[in-house]
Structure 1
Amino acid sequence: MTPTVEIVEHAPASSHALPDAVGRALAVGGIIDASPDPYAPGRWLLRAGSKVGAVAITMPGGEAGEAVTVRITPKVPIARLFFLLGYSLDPRRAWRDGQVDVAEHRDLLPALAHAVERQIDRALGQGLLQGYRPTEETALVVRGRIREADQIRRRFGATLPVEVIYDEFTTDIAENRILRTAVERLLRLPGVPNGARRRLLHQRARLADATPLVPGRPVPVWHPSHLNARYHHALHLARAVLDGISADHAPGGLRIDGFLFDMNKLFEDFVTVALQEALRGTGLTGRLQDAHHLDEAAAIRMKPDFVLYGPELTPLAVADAKYKAEKRDGFPDADLYQMLAYCTALGLREGHLVYAKGNAPHTAHRVRHAGVMIHQHALDLDQAPAGLLHDITALCRQMCVGLPV
């Protein structure tokens, strides 16, 4: 039976019996904080940061079942995590409660496998999407147009065969290839329940004519349209799967397979996209991760999570999202210093730090001799999506107080 280690995101370090090679692989891979337990030989102190999910570390030469599985449980309820993910990927068609039914699942990976399979099943309900795909081949008849440069280089002036390129109407298009690859990756992950695995195998059979993507190569681009509208939810979720998949060879010949969400990035994406959506109809513009410079020589670059611009792209407000809870003695001071730097470089009198949770919904600090006010906001992620979006809208309104809206 595969040994399983269960830890919780951002929980205190706990001691676990692990082979030294596995402990070192966890530490080197940056998956969790891992160090030998100084009081218990053969045990390792493990502490999860902001990455949640599951990884399986297979010993060299071992069979498929000879692996150690590490599961990192998020503090955020699974249903809420999927809402944050769905909204950050597609805010106008976000997954509200019930649209992606994951309530029965307590672990991330089973919920993810279930959600992907359900969304793919809905996408393929009317059959596989077809489209035109550029195809190059060597043929005995001219189809499409001749690739003249390849014809000269490969055929040295010979008439036949002909190097041609044409648009083929096929199911082997980017949309189906992305879905097929997401299914393939999920089937290789530890912790996918047998029921979900059987249904994923069925979806793989339906997508058999789509070519899986090559690992390490860019994911093909697809463009939303009315033709592929039924695929949108499935494609967004499949892309999240592909972005979170890891398959690496660790030192010593160990293999690491798994799926990990970075809650820092998920929270940051949700907050900034939701702020951008809250600005609709105001005439103002919000940009995410816009590059600026701290110094006049433009040598020190900085990228605030969200900058609000007015006419002629004049900075009006700045915000940064921090997925961390308030400590007993307050939020980290380093965040205040960072926001002060943003405000100074952008010429702003106020800055906004947005946290995942806190003892109070809002606090503010006026910086001495600078005339800068730094606000610290706390979002309660345990509440329903409607309440969460209401709080974001209220935050946006506070950022816009006194601005030409």
Structure 2
Amino acid sequence: AHNRIRIREHGFLIREEQASNLPAGRCAAIPSSAFDYLSQLLAKEEARTVADEHHFFLSRTTWRGRDALKVRSHVGVLQTPCGACIEILPKAANSEGLDESSQVLVRMLHCLRSAPFRAGGEAQLQSQRMPLVEVFLGYFLREIDQLVKRGIRSDYLGEEENLRFLKGKLLLGKHLRANAVQQHRFFCSYDAYLLNRPENRLIRTALAKVLKLCRSRENERLARGLVFAFQDVPVSQDIAGDLARCRFNRGMAHYQNPLAWCRMILREEATVPASGSKRTISLLFPMEKVFEDYVARLLERTDSVHDLRCQAGSKWLVEAPRKKFQMRPDFLFWLDNQFVVGDAKWKLADQDAQDGKFGVSQADLYQLYAYGHKYLRDRKGRLFIFYPETFAFHERQNLEYEPGLN
């Protein structure tokens, strides 16, 4: 079984030997080996020549006098070499427990445009309370299972071999050097139709890694069967090169989702590099982007919303002498006959805040105000800012910046 550790975003990770009276969800105790591993990853990130501290998912801090690692606004799962499986779940103002937060996360990840999630894993999580890592691995394995059912694609691969018969093209120079004595052979180059192509090597490599990570019987059984289906495919010796060589030409459309999973499991999409260890995996996602895509999906499903555009930047904050600072609101759309500029903020608002400001950031409202002046200058419309609905914030609030700008 996985050594399962669960914490909410912006929570604190503490060494086990220093852990006592930790508030559930806000703080979590992890083995010293896991703490050291994460500290090393953070040190490597800090040592990089060009480092953006806001993009890494951890920061150093202290909590009540103890060394701690603070989780930034990322959600998902991370497994360390010692087997500690850390689940980072969305923050919440409601009273739901960690199991419910896991279900909320999986449901929202279905809407994430940059990740290949599909429906199905949420029901599995709800019925079995499976660890997130097993849910994610199950998604990947079911994608590969569907690919196998639709057909593993082969490709022509150039081969050179000293054969007993002439095949393809005779390589005269190599033939003369190799066959001065054994004149019954022919040194040839030819194209062989083989499964050994970059896409299949990546899948085979990801399957080998996933098989070592699986702990659920269902996932392990499926992984073993899929490894057998790819038994004639070697593992990749150059993951970055094979990723660059992937092609989605005719007959390869059903490879797109599986290979998106391979990128996450093996190399590019994960926030944390695996550092060469086959026992580590990182599937972490910026929560702001998860929420933004979730709101976009809800808008797409709303009948009164038309012509939705996401991250469409057609205006600039500075117009002259040269255009600078492009303005990219999260959403532009028509609501019935009204043009709307919208922004999504993954923050916990409070409609009963004592100062009457709803717990909303002044900077967020200034940003929306600037959008309004640029995008609604020549037409009537409205400004929307979307926050997650909670017990503390569940009613629509109408605010007016100035006459005509609401």
Where does the alignment leave 5 or more consecutive residues of structure 2 unmatched? Answer: 12-24, 46-55, 91-97, 170-185
Q: How far apart are 1:112 and its partner, in Å? A: 1.0
Aligned equivalent of 1:351, options 379, 383, 389: 383
Note closer, same or farther for the CA distance 1:342–1:180 as it changes in structure 2 (3 Å cut): farther
* Superposed displacement of residue 99, structure 1: 8.4
Match of 1:339 in 2: 368
Return the letter of the residue paired with 2:40.
Answer: A
Establish whether residue 318 from structure 1 lines up as the match of residue 341 from structure 2: yes
Counterpart CA distance in 2 for 1:276 and 1:173 is 38
Letter matched to residue 362 of structure 1: R
Deviation at 1:184, TM superposition (A): 3.8
**Structure 1, unaligned stretches of length 5 or more?**
59-64, 145-159, 374-405
Q: Which amino acid aligns with 1:347?
A: L
Matched-pair contact (CA < 8 Å) for 1:130–1:171: yes
Matched, 1:364 2:398: yes
Q: Could you list the per-position Cα deviations for residues 46-85 of structure 1 after superposition, in whole angstroms to 9, with x for gaps in the alignment?
A: 4433323333445xxxxxx4x6553324466444434433
Please give the secondary structure, in 1, of the residue aligned with 2:223: helix
Normalising to structure 2: TM-score of the pair? 0.62
- The separation in 2 between residues aligned to 1:38 and 1:99, in whole angstroms, is 37
Letter in 1 for 2:61: S
Secondary structure of the residue aligned to 2:108 is helix
Measure the CA separation in 1 of the matches of 2:225 and 2:5: 30
Report matched runs for 1:49-198 at 5 Å.
49-58=72-81, 65=82, 69-74=85-90, 77-89=101-113, 95-96=118-119, 101-103=124-126, 104-125=128-149, 128-130=151-153, 132=155, 135=157, 169-173=193-197, 176-187=200-211, 189=213, 192-193=215-216, 196-198=219-221
The 5 Å alignment of 1:248-259 reads 248-249=274-275, 257-259=281-283
Q: Which amino acid aligns with 1:325?
A: L
How far, CA to CA, are the matches of 1:162 and 1:202 in structure 2? Answer: 36
The answer on whether the counterparts of 1:308 and 1:318 sit within 8 Å (CA) in structure 2 is yes
Tell me the CA shift for residue 111 of structure 1.
0.9
Shift of 1:350: 2.2
Q: How does 1:215-294 map to 2 (within 5 A)?
A: 215-217=239-241, 218=243, 223=248, 227=251, 234=258, 237-238=261-262, 241=265, 243-244=269-270, 246-249=272-275, 257-276=281-300, 282=306, 284=307, 286-290=309-313, 292-294=315-317
Shift of 1:317: 2.9
Superposed displacement of residue 265, structure 1: 1.9
Aligned residue number for residue 40 of structure 2: 25
1:280-320 deviations in Å (ceiling 9; x for gaps)? 995x352435464211132213332223389xxxx943222
Q: Distance in 2 between matches of 1:94 and 1:130?
A: 23
The Cα offsets for residues 246-287 of structure 1, whole Å up to 9 and x where unpaired, read as 32559xx9x9753323332222223335535658995x3524
Q: Distance in 2 between matches of 1:24 and 1:99?
A: 32
1:108-143, CA deviations, whole angstroms, 9 ceiling, x for partnerless residues? 1111112322332233235x332556x556689896
Letter paired with 2:328: K
1:299 to 1:288, Cα distance in 2 relative to 1, 3 A: closer
Give the letter aligned to residue 35 of structure 1: T
Matched, 1:14 2:47: no
The number of aligned residues is: 333
Q: CA RMSD in A?
A: 4.7
Identify if the C-alpha distance between structure 1 residues 119 and 88 changes in structure 2 by more than 3 Å, giving closer, same or farther: same
Q: Write the distance in 1 (CA, Å) between the matches of 2:193 and 2:4.
A: 47
Q: Is the 8 A contact 2:305 2:334 kept in 1?
A: no
Q: Which amino acid aligns with 2:88?
A: I
3-state secondary structure, aligned to 2:125: coil
Q: Say whether the 8 Å CA contact 1:305–1:320 is kept in structure 2.
A: yes
SS in 2 for 1:318: strand
